[in-house]
Amino acid sequence: MHISEASNISGSVSEFILLGFPCRREIQILLCVMFSLVYLLTLLGNAAIICAVWSSRKLHTPMYTLLANFSFLEMCYINTTVPNMLRNFLSETKTISFTACFLQFYFFFSMGITETFLLPLMAFDRYLAICRPLHYPTIMSSRLCMNLVGLCWVTAFLCYPVPIYFITQLPFCGPNIIDHFVCDPGPLLALSCIPAPGIELSCSILSSLIIFITFFFILWSYTLVLRAVLRVPSAAGRRKAFSTCGSHLAVVSLFYGTIMMMYISPTSGNPAGIQKIVTLLYSSVTPLVNPLIYSLRNKDMKTALRKIQIFIKTGQSKQKLMSGPRS
Q: What is the mean pLDDT of residues 294-319?
A: 72
Instruction: Name the pLDDT band for 11 (thresholds 50, 70, 90).
Output: very low
Highest mean pLDDT among 177-191, 205-219, 229-243: 205-219
Arithmetic mean of pLDDT, 267-278? 71
Give me the mean pLDDT over the 213-235 stretch: 85
In this prediction, residue 321 has a pLDDT band, given cuts at 50, 70 and 90, of: low
Mean pLDDT of all residues belonging to the chain: 84
- Is pLDDT of 6 > 60? no
Q: How sure is the predictor about 172, in pLDDT bands with cuts at 50, 70 and 90?
A: confident
Which has the closest alpha carbon to 276: 264, 258, 289?
A: 258
- pLDDT number for residue 2: 43
Does residue 310 form part of some domain?
no
Banded model confidence at residue 143, pLDDT cuts 50, 70, 90: very high
Is residue 155's pLDDT more than 90?
A: yes
Q: Of 82-96, 144-158, 160-174, 240-254, where does the model show the most confidence? A: 144-158
Identify the domain containing residue 24 by its residue range.
Answer: 16-299
More confident residue, 323 or 246: 246
In the chain, % helix, strand, coil (3-state, to 5) comes to 75, 5, 25
> Does position 159 have pLDDT exceeding 90, yes or no?
yes
pLDDT over threshold 80, residue 122? yes
DSSP 269: -
| Cα 146 → chain centroid | 19
Domain presence at residue 11: no
**pLDDT higher than threshold 80 for residue 144:** yes
Quickly list DSSP for 21-38.
Answer: S---HHHHHHHHHHHHHH
Question: For position 327, what pLDDT does the model report?
Answer: 45
Q: Is the pLDDT of residue 194 over 50?
A: yes
Which of 103-117, 182-196, 253-267 has the lowest average pLDDT? 253-267
60 contacts 32 by C-beta, under 8 angstroms: no
**Which H helix or E strand runs over 174?**
none
Inform me whether the pLDDT recorded for 9 exceeds 50. Answer: no
Burial class (CB in 10 A: 0-12, 13-18, 19+), 134: exposed
Q: Is residue 306 part of a domain?
A: no
Q: Is residue 320 part of a domain?
A: no
95-97 sheet: strands from edge to edge: 95-97, 15-18, 177-178
The number of domains in the chain is 1
Instruction: Indicate the burial class of 161 (C-beta count within 10 angstroms; 0-12, 13-18, 19 or more).
Output: exposed
Residue 281 lies in a domain: yes
Percent of the chain at pLDDT > 70 equals 86
Q: What is the pLDDT of residue 40?
A: 95
CATH number at residue 100: 1.20.1070.10
Confidence of residue 190 (pLDDT cuts 50, 70, 90): confident
Confidence (pLDDT) at 103: 95
pLDDT classification of 315: cutoffs 50, 70, 90: low
Lowest mean pLDDT among 68-72, 147-151, 253-257: 253-257
Alpha helices in 91-135 (DSSP H): 98-131
